[in-house]
Amino acid sequence: MSFIRKIFMPVAVFLLITVIFAVVTNYVQRRINAIKVSEKLTDTDPVDNAPPIVAFTTVALGSFRGIVADLLWLRTIALQDKGQYFEMVQLASWITKLQPRFTGATAYLAWNMAYNISVTFSSPEDRWRWVRRGIELIRDEALNYNPADPVLYKELGWIYQHKVGNIMDDANLYYKNQMAIELMEAFGGLEPEWEYLMAMPDNEEQFKKHFNEKAPVWKALKDSEINSLDALEKEFRSNGRLPVKFTEKLKDPAEIKFVESYLRKRLLKAKFKLDPAKVVQINNKYGKLDWRLPEAHAIYWATLGIEHQTTPEPDVSCERMISQSLADAFKAGRLLVFDKNNFKSLMLAPNFNILDAVKKEFEDVYERQKSKSFVAARENFMVDAIVNLYTFGKYKKAEEYLLVLRKDFPGNPRYLKNIDEFVLKEWIEDAKDGSMKQVMGLIDGMLYQSMNFLAFGDADIAAGFEKRAHAIYLYYEQSQSGSLKRVGLKPYMEIKMSIIQNCLTNFPKPVSDSLRASLEEQKVLNREDNTILKEK
């Protein structure tokens, strides 16, 4: 017995001491963890929205995740040096999953794919694949793990604004066409009813609150042999529309519209991460934007970047992105014609809906940031606005903006000219130095004015506007002869025909009929099929 006690007592004491140490260590460790979190000394909080593989690697690998990620980085660099890019898509995804909080790395990987890797390919299709993959890495993966990181929103907005929206890349027209086509497929047309989409349910639970169990929609699902709402959604995303067998059973147009809009809202949020409520908020603030174009998406993501900032003042980069994108959207923010076959051209027009909002945005940002660059940017925008307003026949508004510039810059002789002299001088300067968007805006506006005057019987003034449009077109094409692949315009007669068709469609019927008669009289249109005649 004494022998057992001799063995048992030390073991018991040892176990007791171990338990005490474990309890004390656990308490101290919990206190240390709490202090690390409260004082922001660690970046190992659980990642929200993490898929199983991320949750597993976070727990299983622990600190060794960094070593694995470093090895993947070395592999990525080696592949890029060799020009072997395709494995890098998976490597970038793995690095993001291994270190989901290391957003700087994700931003670099996305930028590298969208910029460096894309330009190593000659075909627009290959370039767009890499640009889109850069967008998806931030939008679909990194922001899913870090929805409150403002840097990611800014970097995503930059790709839309600069890579897709700008003209520096030879394939920029391909990017814009592809983006517009993808979005129109999701919209189910040129543009959705954003307010209506905003009011749609977000999930199946809310959907079932709207349609009780006896609602016709459930019977239509059963009768059309679609097992569930999830199955209907899969078919909708696969085909881009509701199955005919379902709509034939449901019949009620209002209910069909509701179901389709519910599914479109979910598609836009899942694929493009576009929240209709945020879109409506932005449209209400700035004016109606064309959400098929990259400028609107740059504004969207920069707005979210500002909302997720922790600093008292908005980030100047995001504010600059919004103001610059708004200015670009004013100059060429309405998509008139896109090229769904060859993806090589598109026709844009100014968006006058946002004019005053752009001016106000420059003024508001200057008050917040006190940067003189915003004063200069506002002045340049005002000059562009005056030219566009005058070109499109909005003379009163053009004079109003010119008076504002005279008041703001009283000693500047540039703004002392009358409106006609001022615009004429700017037209010449724009034709010499203007960007593709500026020149397209000039040509479109002059042709539009030409059609206006022609419809109302003033053929001489109409001819003057067209002559000016054609002269600027020729001047621009000659000045850009070495860069036509990147910034060249569509053939002049195609541009003219697009404007004619747009006017014939959108003018009031009496005006449209008058224009058609004038065009036929001038032998611009074939009387039989309303197609444009070839130039001799």
Among residues 352, 196, 346, 339, the alpha carbon closest in space to that of 289 is found at 352
Type of residue found at 6: K
Distance (Å) of CA 467 to CA 473, 474, 521? 10, 11, 19
The pLDDT score that the predictor gives to residue 403 is 96
Distance (Å) of CA 497 to CA 314, 447, 469? 45, 10, 13
The pLDDT score that the predictor gives to residue 441 is 82
Q: Which residues make Cβ contacts (< 8 Å) with residue 158, sequence separation at least 6?
A: 298, 321
The pLDDT score that the predictor gives to residue 528 is 46
Query: Which phi and psi (to 5°) does residue 298 adopt?
Result: -60, -45
State CA 124 to chain mean position distance. 19
The pLDDT score that the predictor gives to residue 372 is 84
The pLDDT score that the predictor gives to residue 2 is 61
* pLDDT tens digits for range 335-383: 877 888 888 777 788 899 999 999 999 999 988 888 888 899 999 999 9
Counting as low any pLDDT under 70, the low residues of the chain are 1-8, 11, 29, 33-65, 433-434, 524-536
Among residues 318, 272, 325, the alpha carbon closest in space to that of 294 is found at 325
The pLDDT score that the predictor gives to residue 58 is 58
CA separation for the pair 231, 46 (Å, rounded): 33
CA separation for the pair 337, 168 (Å, rounded): 21
Q: Which one-letter DSSP state was computed for residue 412?
A: -
The pLDDT score that the predictor gives to residue 427 is 78
Name the pairing type of β-strands 346-349 and 334-338.
antiparallel
